[in-house]
Amino acid sequence: MLTKERLKGIWVAVPTEWDNEGNFDEKTFRDEVATQEREYLEYMGWDVRTGEPEAKTIERLGLDFVTRELSKGKGG
């Protein structure tokens, strides 16, 4: 089991949750990573559900030609 004492090397820099007994709290860790991922995707203008860039993001980056090309392949 992962404990504070066994955590070594570069992994020490990773924010890690511990329970009251000093053991790795996986549920809290996973919840916090999911929250950070969602906030990052929202901030960057990507769809949280699909992980794909939103149309406004593609346009802002000047890549709207990609969307047009992809829609041609889908019969659009």
Q: Where are the domains of the chain?
A: 4-73
At residue 69, the pLDDT reads 79
- Nearest CA to 25 among 37, 17, 13? 17
- For the chain, first and last CA: distance in Å? 53
Element (H, E) at 56: helix 55-60
- Nearest CA to 16 among 5, 30, 29? 29
At residue 12, the pLDDT reads 63
CB neighbour list of residue 5: distance below 8 Å, 6 or more residues apart: 22
The half-sphere exposure of 32 on its side-chain side, counting CA atoms within 13 A, is 10
At residue 28, the pLDDT reads 84
Which residue, chain included where needed, has tokens 């020490």?
Answer: 12
pLDDT beneath 70: ranges in the chain = 1-2, 4, 7, 10-15, 74-76
pTM of the predicted protein model:
0.62
